[in-house]
């Protein structure tokens, strides 16, 4: 893709602020689901850009009625090794809990979160763009989960003519043959995820109940974390994404044998092509990881309700059922 075309796509995605719903592509094997882009959540389909058009008191009240609540801002500014991540904490991550019980309008006292999902947004987005997902999809049915939605720092993006925007790392191209992986920045973002994991463990959540995931660029950081981190967590999620620096990894030296990974990709993705997802999946499998790969016919660089249903089944059946 030419740089001018990339700039045009960024502009058309990020400048639109319509709050109307947009129908999402679905797999053909199931009846069509309703759109997840309702109310306060509007879908943008370039480079992982999801934009929240409003986050009103009405929306937050609705969250509470389902046992989903915006509880606080996380810190996540340093790790056990003393490395600083202040550039990732302005603003700090958004934290949403699905606790059920009395705290969400149900019967009985509020329950304590015993699971955590750290989910990283895509290029040009913020944590708030995904923070409505527990409310807008079946993922909110998984109870006692603390969702952490961190914010990428604002950095110049070569692909976008050097314009600064939220990004986990720089990108010079979308084509894998021309893309030069921003190794240093990618690896620092992975270490920042370590700090978020450690924060959740300090709050009493066991590592086996922590999942790291992301969309597009965020998913690339999640898959890199699976290669680099010493933390043995429950699993990983990569939506419409790829594994950076894939050729540098080898079995026995990188990755964790048997670690569960959920990957999903639209077959019509014009940004990060479908074959980027499939080749990354095959690489992870070759490294000994337990990968569930789902494809969605006709879906572009976006998400759909069925994909999130499949993710919920993966999390409930393979991660949080222990």
Residues catalogued as catalytic: 216, 269, 301
The pair of three-digit structure tokens given for residue 277, joined into one six-digit string: 């997802």
Local structure of 312: helix, strand or coil: helix
Query: Following DSSP, what letter does each residue of 27-47 receive, concatenated?
Result: -TTSPPPPPS--TTEE---ST
Helix ranges, 66-128 (H): none
- Three-class HEC string of 290-309: EEEEEEECCCCCCCCHHHHH
Query: What is the total residue count of the chain?
Result: 322
Q: In which element (H, E) is residue 263 found?
A: strand 260-266
Q: Which of 90, 78, 26 lies closest to 299, judged by CA? A: 26
Q: Which whole-number Å values give the CA distances from 136 to 40, 129, 139, 297, in the listed order?
A: 9, 12, 8, 22
Q: Which whole-number Å values give the CA distances from 73 to 60, 90, 150, in the listed order?
A: 15, 11, 9
Specify whether the CB–CB gap between 136 and 53 falls below 8 A. no
CA 269 remoteness from chain centre: 17
Percent of the chain as helix, strand, coil, to the nearest 5: 35, 20, 45
């Amino acid at each position: 893709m030419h740089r001018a075309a990339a700039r045009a796509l960024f502009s058309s995605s990020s400048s639109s602020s319509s709050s109307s719903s947009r129908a999402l592509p679905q797999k053909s094997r199931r009846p069509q689901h309703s759109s997840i882009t309702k109310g306060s959540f509007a879908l943008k389909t370039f480079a992982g850009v999801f934009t929240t058009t409003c986050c009103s008191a009405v929306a937050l009240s609705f969250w509470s009625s389902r046992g989903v609540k915006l509880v606080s801002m996380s810190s996540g500014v340093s790790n056990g090794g003393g490395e600083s991540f202040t550039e990732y904490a302005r603003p700090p991550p958004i934290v949403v809990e699905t606790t059920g019980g009395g705290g969400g309008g149900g019967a009985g006292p509020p329950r304590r979160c015993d699971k955590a999902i750290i989910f990283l947004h895509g290029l040009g987005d913020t944590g708030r763009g995904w923070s409505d997902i527990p409310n807008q999809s079946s993922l909110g049915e998984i109870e006692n989960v603390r969702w952490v939605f961190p914010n990428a720092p604002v950095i110049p993006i070569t692909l976008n003519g050097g314009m600064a925007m939220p990004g986990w790392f720089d990108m010079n191209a979308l084509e894998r043959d021309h893309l030069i992986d921003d190794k240093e920045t990618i690896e620092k973002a992975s270490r920042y995820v370590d700090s978020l994991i450690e924060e959740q463990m300090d709050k009493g959540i066991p590592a086996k109940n922590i999942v790291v995931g992301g969309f597009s660029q965020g998913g690339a950081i999640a898959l890199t974390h699976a290669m680099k981190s010493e933390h043995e967590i429950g699993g990983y999620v990569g939506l419409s994404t790829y594994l950076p620096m894939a050729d540098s990894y080898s079995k026995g030296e990188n990755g964790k044998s048997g670690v569960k990974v959920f990957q999903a990709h639209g077959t019509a993705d014009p940004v990060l092509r479908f074959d980027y997802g499939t080749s990354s999946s095959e690489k992870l499998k070759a490294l000994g990881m337990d990968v569930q790969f789902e494809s969605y016919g006709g879906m572009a660089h976006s998400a759909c309700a069925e994909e999130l249903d499949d993710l919920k089944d993966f999390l409930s059946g393979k991660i949080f059922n222990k």
